[in-house]
């Protein structure tokens, strides 16, 4: 098996000394973490390593020697380095030596016990200690399940470097008994603002938690659980969105520490998405309240609703005549048309009753935009639902009528063929009918068949109108979902610090010389943006239509009511 | 450093280059034919002819600027995401296998498969259009079930089918 030496690239200019790191025997590879410089006292080194082992739980040991000779080769030193192998017993003893500024290093191993002297091939793999330490491999390992890490994988190397973080955090000016070279952090970053914010965040979180518990207590109270109110809450998308945001706030303000990387990222994502949402909402609000936009909006809203009603009236008049040259059943056509016209008349009077209060309502509703853009969008969706309530009503009437006809026709068609639907066995059985039954059935079948085009036309027109409203609402909900679910923090992290989210590693072959070990550069392969979004997407409450296109078409054909979203604001009034 | 010439399944010329970095490390690279000036100019002139035809019909200069934008964006997307210039396979003994495909724009996408994940390397056959083609693929071990195969990774995918 080939021996692999993972060497931190920051140590390539270190002075001579010994290499410390972890030996992974499953992979036959050595992960070098640091170089301890001469001179040192072996006992102190051993003691220090034992301390490090206790803290980091990584079996750090002395792996070999490192010789960086600036001048000519010193014979005595190389012998001395071999002797070191007897003090720190390790199998195999790795010797790396660098001459001058040469890029090509000598690398050899010393096997003391084994009698067979086989020439093992050595691969030198350079890695960036800082990036490997900070990066997180994806998909995240669920270490809770396995307990021990799988030492035969590359993630073992990542874990080794990440766990020995304590080793690197030592102060560079702290003169200990041992001098080492490794990636050096510039100390823990500290600024007054960050410290103040950290201090302030704890009471702020506590206050937030208290307020949230109050709000959720009010929301869960008995008074709001009675039938008409609870029904109303479940149909208003604004309430759903507010509940969703409440959960988010609870997650953020909880005093529990995030246990692993996934939870931490989730919290950060929620926080950023909440911030962006509120910022957009406040922007919207500042625009709305600046030049009395609310008043303009209210002034245009009523004429628009009036206009829609008028257009509907015209449409009904057209349908009551001979729409597109079709000849309808005149009596049924007139009855249906008058019925819908009366409905519109009622609707217009309702709007005119409402019109003095619209501006005030809008003014108060606009204030809710400070809770976030998503809340404002949900309110918009609810307002659209309320203002197009007549279209929904027409659709339901048309659909019910059409559905009745279709079912009647299908059952009469069975009678026509001498069959019937067996309810107990859920299948079609043959049946012998009387002459009277057959006569009446055929008569009804004919009547229904000839009246079907009139109903179907009304159904078709109102279904198209309804679909238009549903599509507009669906687009609004899609936007809300997008704001709710995009993991913005992860995307920014991937953009600015691409090594933090690693999908794996990639190797580059560096130039090489004959007789010298192969040199590879290990780089971090960042996660693709699609994967970032897929991994860290925040779950949303809204469910997309579960039925496929064919089942949707089937439902439309049979006249069953379609509910594209579970939460709809059309049913209440 | 030997370069050998082959033909792909559709008859396009391919160049295979083997490099032995060391005893346990070897690189295989398949170079696909570069973007031909002929096909590029053919597509450009076709788009422009169509745009001019539309322009003559509807006498709106927006059509022409739209054609320029479409052409540019299409070319960028083609060079950056579709056209693969070279696919290489780096086999490092006892460490793993690295697949790299470099696009015409210089973008490289790399996947590294650890040796412990590799279950086997097989030659598979597939039906492509009206013929049967053969391709090399790596079978990945399923971590839950040691006998099972979790994924089949085809090698030199574009070079085979292009």
CB A38 within 8 A of CB A15: yes
d(CA A302, CA A348): 10
Chain-wide mean pLDDT for chain B? 87
- A381 phi/psi in degrees, rounded to 5: -60, -40
Query: Quick check: is A70 in a domain?
Result: yes
B24/A512 touch (CB, cutoff 8 Å), yes or no: no
pLDDT by residue (tens digit) across B26-62? Answer: 899 988 888 888 988 999 999 999 999 999 988 888 8
Q: Which chain B residues are Cβ-neighbours of A4 within 8 angstroms? A: 94-95
Q: Which chain B residues are Cβ-neighbours of A520 within 8 angstroms? A: 25, 92
User: Last residue of a domain, which of A138, A168, A187?
Assistant: A187
pTM of the model: 0.78
pLDDT of residue A569: 37
Concatenated DSSP letters of A313-355: HHHHHHHHS-GGG----HHHHHHHHHHHHHHHHHHHHHHHHHH
A4/B95 touch (CB, cutoff 8 Å), yes or no: yes
Q: Which chain B residues are Cβ-neighbours of A1 within 8 angstroms? A: 94
d(CA A401, CA A333): 13
d(CA A301, CA B103): 53
B25/A509 touch (CB, cutoff 8 Å), yes or no: yes
The pairing of beta strand A122-127 with beta strand A518-526:
parallel
CB A567 within 8 A of CB A234: yes
A269 burial via Cβ count (<10 Å: 0-12, 13-18, 19+): buried
pLDDT of residue A326: 75
Q: Cα A24 from chain centroid?
A: 36
A507/B22 touch (CB, cutoff 8 Å), yes or no: no
Say whether both A295 and A161 belong to one domain. Answer: no
Query: Quick check: is A335 in a domain?
Result: yes
C-alpha distance from A158 to closest chain B C-alpha (Å): 14
- Which domain CATH number covers A36? 3.40.140
A152 touches chain B (CB under 8 A): yes
Query: Quick check: is A346 in a domain?
Result: yes
- Which residues of chain B are at the A interface, by a Cβ-Cβ cutoff of 8 Å? 21-25, 27, 90, 92-96, 98, 100, 110-112, 114, 116
Query: Which has the closest alpha carbon to A2: B55, B103, B52, B26?
Result: B26
Sign of CA dihedral B56, B58, B61, B63: negative
Say whether both A169 and A310 belong to one domain. Answer: no
Measured between alpha carbons, how far apart are the two ends of chain A, in Å? 76
Is the bond into A92 cis (omega within 30 degrees of 0)?
yes
Q: Cα A89 from chain centroid?
A: 50
Query: Quick check: is A242 in a domain?
Result: no
Query: Which has the closest alpha carbon to B90: B82, B99, B81?
Result: B99
Query: Quick check: is A244 in a domain?
Result: no
d(CA A373, CA A286): 12
Measured between alpha carbons, how far apart are the two ends of chain B, in Å? 25
C-alpha distance from A52 to closest chain B C-alpha (Å): 28
User: Last residue of a domain, which of A137, A153, A187?
Assistant: A187
Which residues in A29-65 are b (16+ Cβ under 10 Å) and which e?
bbbbbbbbbeebeeeebeebbeebeeebebebbbbbb
B21/A509 touch (CB, cutoff 8 Å), yes or no: yes
A525 touches chain B (CB under 8 A): yes
pLDDT of residue A74: 56
CB A476 within 8 A of CB A377: yes
Rg (CA), chain B: 21
CB A139 within 8 A of CB A503: no
Say whether both A183 and A293 belong to one domain. Answer: no
**From the candidates A25, A141, A507, which should be mutated to test the interface with B, based on the most B CB atoms within 10 A?**
A507
d(CA A319, CA A333): 8
d(CA A378, CA A75): 80
A2/B94 touch (CB, cutoff 8 Å), yes or no: yes
pLDDT of residue B50: 92
d(CA A416, CA A343): 38
Three-state secondary-structure class, residue A573: coil
- Find, in chain B, the residue whose alpha carbon is nearest to that of A26: B116
Say whether both A324 and A441 belong to one domain. Answer: yes
pLDDT by residue (tens digit) across A250-261? Answer: 888 877 777 777
Query: Between vectors from CA B114 to CA B111 and to CA B116, what angle results, nearest 5°?
Result: 155
Say whether both A174 and A316 belong to one domain. Answer: no
A509/B95 touch (CB, cutoff 8 Å), yes or no: no
Say whether both A430 and A302 belong to one domain. Answer: yes
H/E segment holding residue A30 = strand A29-37
**From the candidates B1, B19, B91, B94, which should be mutated to test the interface with A, based on the most A CB atoms within 10 A?**
B94
d(CA A212, CA A254): 10
CB A504 within 8 A of CB B111: yes
Query: Quick check: is A260 in a domain?
Result: no
With a CB cutoff of 8 Å and minimum separation 6, the contacts of A384 are A469, A472, A473, A476
Q: Which chain B residues are Cβ-neighbours of A152 within 8 angstroms? A: 116
A506/B93 touch (CB, cutoff 8 Å), yes or no: no
Which regions in chain A score pLDDT beneath 50?
144-148, 566-573
With a CB cutoff of 8 Å and minimum separation 6, the contacts of A78 are A67, A97
B90/A518 touch (CB, cutoff 8 Å), yes or no: no
| A152 → closest Cβ in B23, B27, B116 | B116
B111/A525 touch (CB, cutoff 8 Å), yes or no: yes
Query: Which has the closest alpha carbon to A249: A278, A287, A224, A282?
Result: A278
Domain span at residue A90 reads 3-187
C-alpha distance from B65 to closest chain A C-alpha (Å): 30
CB B103 within 8 A of CB B81: yes
Helix, strand, coil shares of chain B, percent, nearest 5, are: 30, 45, 25
Query: Which has the closest alpha carbon to A318: A295, A341, A352?
Result: A341
| A507 → closest Cβ in B24, B93, B98 | B98
B27/A509 touch (CB, cutoff 8 Å), yes or no: yes
Query: Quick check: is A138 in a domain?
Result: yes
Chain A / chain B CB contacts < 8 angstroms: 51
Query: Quick check: is A415 in a domain?
Result: yes
Helix, strand, coil shares of chain A, percent, nearest 5, are: 60, 15, 25
Q: Which chain A residues are Cβ-neighbours of B100 within 8 angstroms? A: 506
A153 touches chain B (CB under 8 A): yes
- A276 phi/psi in degrees, rounded to 5: -60, -40
Total tally of structural domains belonging to chain A = 2
Query: Which has the closest alpha carbon to A127: A490, A493, A510?
Result: A510
A477 burial via Cβ count (<10 Å: 0-12, 13-18, 19+): buried
pLDDT by residue (tens digit) across B127-155? Answer: 888 888 888 899 988 878 878 888 899 88
Number of Cβ within a 10 Å radius of residue A316: 20
d(CA A168, CA A155): 20
B98/A506 touch (CB, cutoff 8 Å), yes or no: yes
With a CB cutoff of 8 Å and minimum separation 6, the contacts of A90 are A23, A61, A62, A63, A64
Prediction ipTM score: 0.82
DSSP one-letter code for A25: T
Q: Which residues pair with B124 in a beta bridge?
A: B135
User: Last residue of a domain, which of A187, A216, A236?
Assistant: A187
- % of chain B surpassing 70 pLDDT: 98
d(CA A195, CA A20): 35
């Amino acid at each position: 098996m080939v021996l692999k030496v993972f060497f931190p690239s920051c140590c390539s200019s270190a002075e001579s000394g010994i290499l410390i790191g972890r030996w992974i025997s499953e992979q036959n590879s050595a992960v070098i973490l640091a170089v301890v410089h001469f001179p040192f006292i072996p006992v102190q080194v051993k003691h220090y390593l034992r301390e490090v082992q206790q803290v980091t739980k990584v079996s750090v040991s002395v792996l070999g020697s490192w010789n960086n000779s600036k001048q000519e080769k010193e014979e005595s030193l190389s012998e001395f380095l071999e002797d070191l192998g007897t003090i720190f017993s390790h199998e195999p003893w790795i010797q790396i030596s660098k001459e001058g500024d040469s890029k090509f290093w000598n690398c050899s191993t010393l096997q003391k016990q084994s009698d067979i002297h086989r020439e093992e091939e050595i691969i030198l793999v350079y890695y960036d200690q800082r990036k490997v330490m900070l990066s997180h491999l994806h998909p995240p390992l669920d270490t809770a399940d396995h307990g021990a890490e799988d030492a035969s994988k590359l993630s073992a190397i990542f874990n080794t470097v990440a766990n020995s973080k304590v080793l690197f955090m030592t102060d560079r000016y702290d003169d200990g008994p041992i001098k080492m070279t490794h990636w050096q952090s510039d100390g823990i970053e500290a600024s007054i603002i960050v410290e103040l914010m950290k201090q302030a965040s704890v009471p702020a979180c506590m206050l937030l938690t208290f307020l949230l518990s109050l709000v959720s207590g009010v929301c869960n109270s008995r008074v709001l659980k009675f039938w008409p109110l609870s029904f109303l809450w479940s149909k208003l998308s604004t309430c759903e969105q507010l509940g969703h945001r409440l959960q988010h706030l609870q997650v953020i303000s909880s005093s529990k520490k995030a246990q692993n990387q996934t939870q931490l990222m989730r919290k950060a994502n929620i926080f950023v998405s909440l911030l962006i949402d509120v910022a957009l909402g406040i922007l919207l609000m500042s625009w709305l309240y600046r030049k009395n936009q609310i008043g303009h909006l209210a002034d245009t809203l009523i004429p628009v609703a009036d206009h829609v009603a008028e257009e509907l009236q015209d449409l009904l008049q057209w349908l009551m005549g001979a729409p597109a040259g079709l000849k309808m059943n005149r009596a049924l056509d007139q009855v249906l048309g008058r019925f819908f016209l009366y409905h519109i008349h009622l609707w217009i009077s309702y709007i005119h009753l409402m019109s003095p209060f619209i501006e005030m309502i809008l003014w108060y509703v606009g204030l809710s935009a400070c809770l976030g853009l998503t809340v404002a969008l949900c309110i918009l969706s609810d307002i659209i639902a309320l203002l197009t309530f007549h279209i929904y009503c027409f659709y339901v009437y048309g659909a019910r009528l059409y559905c009745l006809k279709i079912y009647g026709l299908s059952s009469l068609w069975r009678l026509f063929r001498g069959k019937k639907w067996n309810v107990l066995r859920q299948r079609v059985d043959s049946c012998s009918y009387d002459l009277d039954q057959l006569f009446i059935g055929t008569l009804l079948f004919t009547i229904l068949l000839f009246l079907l085009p009139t109903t179907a036309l009304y159904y078709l027109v109102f279904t198209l109108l309804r679909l238009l409203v549903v599509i507009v609402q669906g687009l609004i909900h899609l936007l809300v979902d997008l704001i709710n679910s995009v993991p913005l923090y992860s995307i920014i992290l991937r953009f600015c610090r691409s090594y933090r989210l690693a999908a794996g590693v990639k190797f580059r072959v560096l130039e090489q010389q004959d007789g010298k070990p192969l040199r590879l550069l290990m780089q971090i392969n960042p996660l693709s943006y699609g994967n970032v979004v897929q991994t860290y997407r925040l779950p949303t409450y809204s469910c997309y239509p579960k039925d496929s296109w064919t089942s949707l078409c089937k439902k439309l054909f049979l006249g069953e009511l379609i509910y594209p979203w579970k939460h709809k604001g059309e049913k209440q009034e | 450093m030997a370069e050998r010439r082959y033909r792909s399944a559709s008859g396009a010329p391919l160049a295979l280059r083997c490099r032995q970095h060391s005893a346990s490390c070897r690189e295989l690279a398949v170079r696909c034919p570069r973007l031909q000036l002929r096909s590029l100019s053919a597509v450009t002139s076709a788009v422009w002819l169509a745009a001019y035809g539309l322009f003559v019909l509807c006498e709106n200069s927006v059509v022409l600027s739209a054609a320029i934008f479409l052409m540019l964006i299409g070319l960028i997307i083609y060079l950056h995401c579709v056209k693969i210039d070279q696919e290489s396979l780096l086999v490092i003994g006892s460490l793993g296998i690295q697949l790299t495909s470099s696009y015409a724009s210089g973008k490289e996408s790399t996947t590294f498969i650890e040796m412990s994940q590799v279950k086997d390397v097989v030659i598979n056959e597939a039906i492509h259009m009206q013929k049967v083609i053969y391709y090399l693929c790596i079978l990945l071990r399923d971590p839950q079930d040691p006998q099972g195969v979790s994924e089949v990774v085809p090698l030199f995918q574009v070079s085979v089918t292009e």
